């Protein structure tokens, strides 16, 4: 009896390990990727630039890919929006929408339209496309949470797009001879600082067959870095220094004009 139980346990363990090995070999990452810069340095005269994202595709496991998608995502921000209402001819603040953490910058480039590569539900799972971004912690006084989320998210997208901080480009990833690819993403002058995330996706018949993720630091350097750190980390001292500087400049101008 013990021998029979031992044999059954060994057979079960063999099935488990063989299943794990099969699962481990199901996904063969076909992408090798890189970016043209390992850091973005923002100085006082920074006017924006173009970031090149590129890589190679291994066509041996699955053959030619259907498409490649590149995503550049900025650091998360805790967003709160207020809806303006017009009362008695005056625009006043209306309901507040606290959306929680959403990316401060978001750009996606693809070799084909996203709808041709995979369905919306799958894009939402992978976080591909600004239209599938969802508020992580929507807090609103509206009676209809679904409508409130839709209104707030659309307003958030409009604000980001008008500031050139959200962008989507189909047919912007160039695949060269089925093995190489490249994409360019424009970085605006007013881009937020912080740790950005780069993501590369490759798809075949609607399935994800390649994925790479990386980090791209965006920092303010030079004198601007000192002012930025003081404004955010030593706000009281920064404010007092600003007031003192304004008083001194006013006094100096008054002395100069009095002498004349």
Q: How many domains does the structure of the chain reveal?
A: 2
32: in domain? yes
Pair (239, 141) in one structural domain: no
Strand-pair category, 106-110 with 166-169: parallel
- Residue 185 or residue 147, greater confidence: 185
The answer to whether residue 221 scores a pLDDT higher than 80 is no
Pair (37, 127) in one structural domain: yes
How does pLDDT run across 106-117, given as a tens digit for each residue? 999 999 999 999
- Residue 81: pLDDT band (50, 70, 90) is confident
Pair (183, 243) in one structural domain: no
209: in domain? yes
Pair (122, 68) in one structural domain: yes
Instruction: Give the Cα separation of 62 and 202 in Å (integer).
Output: 11
What is the predicted pLDDT for the residue at 150? 76
Stretch among 31-45, 155-169, 217-231 having the lowest mean pLDDT: 217-231
The answer to whether residue 18 scores a pLDDT higher than 60 is no
| 62 membership: H or E segment, kind and range | none
Pair (244, 217) in one structural domain: no
Pair (101, 229) in one structural domain: no
The answer to whether residue 218 scores a pLDDT higher than 50 is yes
In the chain, what's the furthest Cα-to-Cα distance?
A: 113
Pair (202, 228) in one structural domain: no
- Residue 90 or residue 233, greater confidence: 90
Pair (235, 198) in one structural domain: no
Pair (139, 254) in one structural domain: no
12: in domain? no
143: in domain? yes
What is the predicted pLDDT for the residue at 172? 93
Tokens of 148: 């409130």
Give the N- to C-terminal CA distance of the chain in Å, as an integer. Answer: 113
List C-alpha distances in Å: 75 to 82, 190, 246: 22, 14, 34
Pair (200, 259) in one structural domain: no
Pair (227, 213) in one structural domain: no
CATH assignment at residue 210: 2.60.40.1930
Pair (189, 242) in one structural domain: no
- Residue 22: pLDDT band (50, 70, 90) is very low
Q: Which domain holds residue 247?
A: 222-260
- Residue 245 or residue 36, greater confidence: 36
46 touches 174 (CB < 8 A): no
15: in domain? no
Burial class of residue 16 (count of CB atoms within 10 Å of its CB; 0-12, 13-18, 19+): exposed
Instruction: Tell me the average pLDDT across 144-153.
Output: 72
Report the alpha-carbon angle 100-211-182, nearest 5: 100
What is the predicted pLDDT for the residue at 255? 72
14: in domain? no
């Amino acid at each position: 009896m013990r021998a029979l139980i031992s044999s059954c346990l060994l057979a079960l363990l063999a099935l488990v390990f063989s299943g794990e090995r099969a699962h481990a070999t199901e996904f063969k990452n076909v992408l090798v990727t890189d970016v043209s810069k390992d850091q973005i340095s923002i100085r006082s005269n920074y006017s924006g630039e173009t970031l090149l994202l590129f890589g190679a595709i291994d066509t041996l496991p699955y053959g030619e890919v259907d498409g490649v998608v590149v995503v550049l995502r900025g650091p998360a921000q805790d967003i709160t929006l207020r809806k303006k209402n017009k009362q008695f001819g005056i625009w006043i603040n209306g309901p507040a929408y606290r959306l929680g953490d959403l990316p401060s910058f978001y750009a996606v480039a693809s070799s084909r339209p996203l709808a041709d590569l995979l369905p919306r539900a799958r894009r939402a799972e992978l976080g591909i496309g600004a239209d599938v971004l969802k508020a992580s912690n929507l807090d609103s006084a509206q009676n209809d949470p679904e409508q409130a989320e839709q209104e707030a998210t659309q307003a958030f997208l409009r604000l980001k797009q008008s500031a050139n901080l959200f962008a989507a480009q189909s047919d912007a990833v160039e695949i060269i001879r089925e093995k190489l690819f490249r994409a360019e993403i424009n970085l605006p002058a007013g881009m937020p600082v912080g740790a950005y995330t780069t993501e590369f996706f490759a798809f075949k018949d609607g399935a994800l067959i390649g994925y790479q993720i990386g980090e791209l630091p965006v920092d303010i350097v030079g004198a601007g870095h000192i002012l930025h750190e003081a404004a955010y980390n030593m706000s009281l001292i920064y404010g007092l220094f600003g007031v003192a500087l304004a008083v001194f400049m006013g006094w100096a101008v008054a002395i100069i004009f009095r002498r004349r």
